[in-house]
Chains A and B, each alone.
Chain A
Amino acid sequence: MNESRKILPILFLHFALGFAACAVWAFTRGLDVDLLSPFVFAYRFRSAVIAFIGLLPTLTISGFLMGYSISFRAVAGEAVGRWSDTLLTVLKHAYILMLACLALYAVFAEGISPALTSRQKQAVVLTKDFKEYMRAARRFVDDSQPALAVVPTRAALQVWPGNKEALYLLDQIGYKQAEGAGGSDAKGRVRTASEEAVIREASGLTVLEALDKAIEADKKNDYFNAHYYASLAARLAPTTDPNHDVAVRLAAQAWNRVSEGHDRIQSRAEADLYGIKRDGYKAIGNQDYLRAYYIFLELREAELATNDRLGDPDVERFLEISRKGVLESFFFIDETASIKIFESSRDVFFVIRHPDGSADAVFASGITYTSHSGTDMAYLRGFEFASFDRNLGLRYQISVPYAKMVASTSGAKGSARPEILLRSVDRNREGVDVVPAVIAGAVPESERNILMLSMDYRDFSLLVEANRGPDSMSVMDLWNFVPKAESYGFSRKTFNLELIRRLVDPFLLLILSVCALILGWQFRLGKSVMFKFWWIFTVPVFPVLSYLAVEGVRYVSRLCNGALIALLPSYPLIPVLLALVVCFLGVSLAFFSQRSE
């Protein structure tokens, strides 16, 4: 006999009715969150799918219970002994069906459900953002500051493209700007030299290559480049390398030529230009890239304004070099314009406990992940940081509206660490900086612009997930985070409990399915008892009671897991899995050992 095949229609009927019930619930209930109208349908549909996934175990157990209770009617009159082949066959087929249902549930619960939940949260956040952008834009328009209203209006339109109100507001802003109320033309703004600068790949030269380039430039009388590459070769080569001395000599020679060049120039204008270039170059040499950047930017803009846009190659090259140098220590203020809508997490808080007893507290109001030229980075809005010494006295506390985080591999251990750039500068105007506000204590010179967090860069994304709560983390993330939870201020027990809960859930459902099989056998329909029509009305009772059973068993399992974690904090998983295997074997044997009464 193959009861498993017979129960399939009942199982599918359960799934179909379950999804229908979830859809009715999702589309008829009042929304408990504020949503923009384009998000409502998708939100409700996702709610239905999430609810259905949550109910899947209940529906499976209910389907098993009801289906097997009815299908066992076929053997109700037969004498079935203990350990019979009949029951073994049933158990074998039931296992296959259970595993198929569990696999389906695991894929849904661990793959689809978290993604949908994340989309749900994003819809709520975007709605909030849209309203805030519109509110801010209206306020700027009312205050006759249309230029400032452009960014929030455009951000609002990114959230809800085609929103009539936002489009109307944008038109209004355009009219107001056209009237000459003030501010720059947001639509037809002239691109600055810095924006036109071509982003080039990092050189990645070897000592010999840099030396070759220096010699080549020297031959062409391009002494700035000759000095630059010779200096680079000198930096790259160790002092024991004979090339180091050659590079130093070549750099000195080139610099003498640069210095001589100024004296040879007869025209005053050319002499001034040459002097400025030399100052900029000196700044690069001193690694004062910010100063060099503004010097070469000014030169480039002057060239663009006067010439036919054919720039001095020296200026272009050194502008690019200084820009790259600037971006190693700073970031541009305009990078953070309207990135708030792309924030993936908010209100992230954690502490870092160091082995020497010192600690740091880190907070970010919002985090936006992005990547540039294959490098992952993140912008941290409302970044706040407090550092404590080994006696846990407050060293300093700072706060900055935006910080930029990149992975830094410099330093020991080889693993990447989060490097936080705290100071943002204006792309075009010198002196317009956003620096961290010092709330308490004194910030050491080395940590004023760049903060290096003493943690693995990969842990940062784990911490972001942990802040959302253990239930929103994937099993792999939980697995990686549990051993580190304590060092970041999170309860290891809570995350361990969640990890074990997620790992044991399929086993629990498997055990419950076998229990349903046992109940189906023990309370099977009589041989000659016809299924009465009115019994159909009792069908909803089965999923309800299955739900109570599933949730009850899950709760009991959580209690047991909590006790095991308290008893064996280091290795709680092994006894839990052992207990589950014993339970599973126990219920399987209990089914197999049944007989007809």
Chain B
Amino acid sequence: MKNSLMVPVAFLANLLLWSALAAFFSVLSSSSFVLFLSAGKFVPILIELLWNAVKYLPFAILVSLLFTLMYLMRHKTLFFVSIPVVLGIAFASVVWLIPLSYAGLGRLSGAHADVNRLEGLLNETTPYIGHIQRTGNQARIVWLSESAGGRVVGPLVAVRQRASEEDTERAVTVYKNARFSAKAMTVTTDNAGASSSGDYTLQNGASGSGTYGRPRFISAGIDGISSVLDGFSAARSRGTRDFYLVVGSFMLAVLSLAFISRATGWRLLNLLFSCAFFSVFFILYRFTCSGPFFDLLMRFLPSSIPARLISPFLYAAFAALVCLVGSLIGLWRLTHRSKYPPMDGVYHE
């Protein structure tokens, strides 16, 4: 009974944790964070943290639900208590928590816009003096001083990339002056004091965001999360019914992982399968809304089904299939109990 009552606590603890983590890391990975931190401006950071916590709340809810299911897998609970509790949490999330996050975003949008404006201003005054920068055409440039608020730089020393080792032309060009655009991250040189002129586009910003080397799978994950959240937002703007259909079907798909989390007798494998399916839900979402797969489906499905309902239909169909197969397997296991012991290998009455 105790474990069953702990289900909402587990959900809320996870919700807090994942909201905080999502907000913290999305701010940490943004180029603005380092700018604000270096400039000693902490209020914009707090606003950004709050904005991201609210923005990623639907994602945090879905992850928390997954981990609540993992909690149920690991702990013995009363079936008739824990299942209604989980369903109640999911229902409350769809009808109350997720719409609340969108309302919160609307309230914070003014402050967020101010932060963006401040970021733009800070970006323009970023010092690059004396740092060798790599450019888009594989050259390296460095300027030793700047004036006019960083818009005029010079002297500029540019080292071009040799075409081949046979290329014996000199590599270094010194420009007396050049113009730097912080917005476009380009340096435009003039001919004074040099034999040639050239334009250089800097590879990385001063924030050094490029130096963190974000792994591709994380980028793919973030893109997936964004596409799902954008899908929810678009459905909300279309109307309440569409919103409930889209978010509800996604929620059902996540809830269906309860069956996958009990697919085998090895809990670790169940955890991996559940996490893998959960990730796939996010990564594949965009393909269920547009693209070649979506077009193919549209060709086979009756034209009476609106395009906007394809994605909810697919997620609901997946959930239904998993529930059906899972229920059948569960019933079969119950009837063959001696052959398929519980996961911890101990029978509990």
Question: Which A positions have Cβ atoms within 8 angstroms of B?
Answer: 65-66, 69, 73, 76-77, 128-129, 132, 135-136, 340, 347, 349-351, 353, 359, 361, 363, 365, 382, 384, 386, 388, 392-394, 397, 399, 401, 439-440, 486, 489-491, 493-494, 497, 519-520, 522-529, 531-532, 535, 538, 541-542, 545, 548, 551-552, 555-556, 558-560, 562-563, 566-567, 597
Contact = CB atoms under 8 A, between A and B. Distances in A.
Contact of A382 (B132, B155, B171): B171
Contacts of A597: 74-76, 344
A562 B212 contact: yes
A361 B276 CA distance: 53
Contacts of A73: 345
Contacts of A66: 268
B202 to A, nearest CB: 12
B181 interface: no
A529 B212 contact: no
Given A489-B132, A523-B267, A555-B218, A392 B170 contact: no
Nearest to B131: A491
Nearest to B40: A567
B349 interface: no
A128 B167 CA distance: 13
B303 interface: no
Given A340-B165, A486-B130, A551-B215, 20 more contacts: A69-B267, A76-B346, A77-B344, A132-B164, A347-B161, A393-B155, A401-B168, A489-B131, A493-B208, A520-B268, A523-B266, A523-B267, A524-B268, A525-B268, A526-B345, A526-B346, A531-B266, A545-B272, A545-B276, A597-B76
Interface string B261-285: 0001111111110011000000000
B128 to A, nearest CB: 10
The 8 A-B pairs with the shortest beta carbon distances in the complex, nearest first, are A527-B345, A526-B345, A523-B267, A523-B268, A528-B345, A529-B265, A384-B172, A566-B37
A399 B172 contact: yes
B345 A494 contact: no
22 contacts: A132-B166, A347-B161, A349-B132, A353-B144, A382-B170, A392-B144, A394-B155, A399-B172, A440-B193, A493-B208, A523-B266, A523-B270, A525-B265, A526-B267, A526-B341, A526-B342, A526-B344, A529-B341, A542-B272, A551-B218, A555-B218, A566-B34
A524 B267 contact: yes
A399 B169 CA distance: 10
Nearest to B128: A491
A153 to B, nearest CB: 16
Contacts of B159: 347, 349, 363
A576 to B, nearest CB: 14
Given A69-B268, A132-B166, A555 B215 contact: yes
Contact of B130 (A353, A363, A545, A567): A353
A320 B276 CA distance: 77
A338 to B, nearest CB: 14
Interface stretch (B25-33, B52-60, B293-301): B25-33
Contacts of B275: 545
A528 B345 CA distance: 5
B345 A535 contact: no
A548 B220 CA distance: 12
Nearest to A538: B269
A535 B217 contact: no
A361 B158 CA distance: 10
Nearest to B194: A440
Given A77-B346, A489-B132, A497 B211 contact: yes
Interface string B211-249: 111110110000000000000000000000000000000
B132 A351 contact: yes
B61 interface: no
Contacts of B341: 526, 528-529
Given A132-B165, A399-B170, A535 B34 contact: no
Contacts of A494: 208, 211
A558 B212 contact: yes
B37 A527 contact: no
A527 B345 CA distance: 5
Contacts of A76: 344-346
Contact of A559 (B28, B131, B343, B344): B28
A523 B174 contact: no
Contacts of B265: 525-526, 529, 532
Contacts of B344: 76-77, 526-527, 597
Contacts of A135: 166
Contacts of B269: 535, 538
B38 interface: yes
A535 B264 contact: yes
A551 B132 CA distance: 28
Contacts of B272: 538, 541-542, 545
B22 interface: no
Given A361-B172, A489-B132, A562 B34 contact: yes
Contacts of B144: 351, 353, 359, 388, 392
Contacts of A545: 272, 275-276
B248 to A, nearest CB: 29
A347 B208 contact: no
Nearest to A564: B37
A562 B214 CA distance: 13
A353 to B, nearest CB: 6
Contacts of B218: 551-552, 555
B172 A386 contact: yes
Contacts of B172: 349, 361, 363, 384, 386, 397, 399
Contacts of B154: 392
Contacts of B268: 65-66, 69, 519-520, 523-525
A361 B171 CA distance: 12
A563 B37 contact: yes
B140 interface: yes
Nearest to B29: A559
A493 B75 CA distance: 47
Contacts of B76: 597
A529 B34 contact: no
A360 to B, nearest CB: 10
B345 A529 contact: yes
Contacts of A528: 341, 345-346
A114 B252 CA distance: 50
A490 B140 CA distance: 11
A157 to B, nearest CB: 18
B21 to A, nearest CB: 9
Nearest to A488: B132
Interface string B162-184: 10111010111010100000000
Nearest to A65: B268
Residue among B75, B76, B142, B168 with max Cβ neighbours from chain A (10 Å): B142
B145 interface: yes
B157 interface: yes
**Most chain B C-beta atoms within 10 Å of own C-beta, residue among A65, A76, A563:** A563
Nearest to A350: B132
A409 B192 CA distance: 39
Contact of A497 (B162, B176, B208, B276): B208
Contacts of B346: 76-77, 526-528
Given A597-B75, A597-B344, A563 B33 contact: yes
A118 B119 CA distance: 41
A128 B164 CA distance: 9
A548 B276 CA distance: 12
Contacts of A555: 212-215, 218
A201 B105 CA distance: 81
Nearest to A439: B170
Contacts of A538: 269, 272
Nearest to A557: B212
Contacts of B342: 526
A439 B170 CA distance: 10
A124 B318 CA distance: 51
Nearest to B270: A523
Interface in B125-159: 130-132, 140, 142, 144-145, 154-155, 157, 159
